[in-house]
Structure 1
Amino acid sequence: MRLDFLFDHIGNLAEVQESAIRLQLASYFTKHINNDFLAVLAETKDSVISTAFLVVDERPANPIFTPGKTGTLLNVFTYPKCRRMGFAKKVIESIIEEAKQLGVSSIDLLTTQDGKPLYEKLGFTTYQLICRRVIFQHA
């Protein structure tokens, strides 16, 4: 699902990129699942159709997250044939409930324009610009 998400949002990857991503994902999931990474899947009897991931992090407290535990929602993805049927909403709601159980006090995300109305409906608000600087990239 992670690769399908990337293909949907970025397009085709160079073979070397796809290979490196597959290798890193195997290592990442082994290390982080049931630790500081959650995945919620929606499935039919024969296939997964939607997903949402949450990476849990502990940061220095501030007024928004005084307990220090935060989450980053990512990889919200539903296959095109199943979109607009409520699956993304359900997986996000499940992630939010799981996050509450873990003591996560805020969840951040980056969204597309298409996804923004759903996130707003679920209580997410825009509060700042996020800037990113890529320090290095592997070839």
Structure 2
Amino acid sequence: MSITYREATIADIEMLVKLRLEYLTADRGTLSEKEIIEISNQLYSYFQESIEVSFVAIFAEENSSVVSTAYLAISTKPANPSFITGKNGTILNVYTKPEFRNQGIATHVLTLLIEKAKNYNISKLELSATEMGKPLYQKLGFIDKHSKYTDMQLQIL
């Protein structure tokens, strides 16, 4: 087995959309046809505008087929002591095909993504971990986020 690693480019938008939809289906269950269309349309626009600017994806491939991936969305906010550069990164869409798990592939994908984050001068990386993924993230230095603040959200659409 020979695994190669690379950063996604604008030429990979089709694959990025496909992988995101596969991830969402695995994470949330079957998506409706309307959801697939709306999400796909947004993803195409997002990747065209953001790739190599405020979005990075790393692919692990075997024979030109993606077997593992992770995405990094970069946002800029007013700085504070937690993210002094004002740049914050959110890691998402971390996925490895089941037959390629526990071989260090996801560890290497995330290590490459963390190096990219450093190159972008990102102060802090965040992610939401599943129980299955938590040991991997902890091994890479991620810690549980304890804060005096409560994470809240308001669903608009």
In the alignment, does 2:68 pair up with 1:50? yes
Corresponding position of 2:56: 38
Q: Distance in 1 between matches of 2:34 and 2:152?
A: 24
Corresponding position of 1:131: 151
In the alignment, does 2:39 pair up with 1:21? yes
Per-residue deviation at 1:66? 1.1
Q: Distance in 1 between matches of 2:152 and 2:27?
A: 18
TM-score by length of 2: 0.82
Cα RMSD (Å) of the superposition? 1.4
- Among 117, 123, 130, the alignment partner of 1:99 is 117
Q: Distance in 2 between matches of 1:98 and 1:123?
A: 16
Structure 1 unmatched ranges of 5 or more: none
Per-residue deviation at 1:46? 3.2
Identity %: 42
Q: Distance in 2 between matches of 1:123 and 1:89?
A: 11
- Among 103, 118, 128, the alignment partner of 1:85 is 103
- Among 85, 92, 101, the alignment partner of 1:74 is 92
Structure 2 unmatched ranges of 5 or more: 1-18
Q: Distance in 2 between matches of 1:15 and 1:81?
A: 29
Q: Distance in 1 between matches of 2:152 and 2:65?
A: 35
Per-residue deviation at 1:135? 2.4
Counterpart amino acid of residue 54 in structure 1: L
Q: Distance in 1 between matches of 2:138 and 2:85?
A: 24
Paired residue total: 137
In the alignment, does 2:69 pair up with 1:59? no
Per-residue deviation at 1:24? 0.9
Counterpart amino acid of residue 121 in structure 2: G
Counterpart amino acid of residue 120 in structure 2: L
Corresponding position of 2:5: none
TM-score by length of 1: 0.92
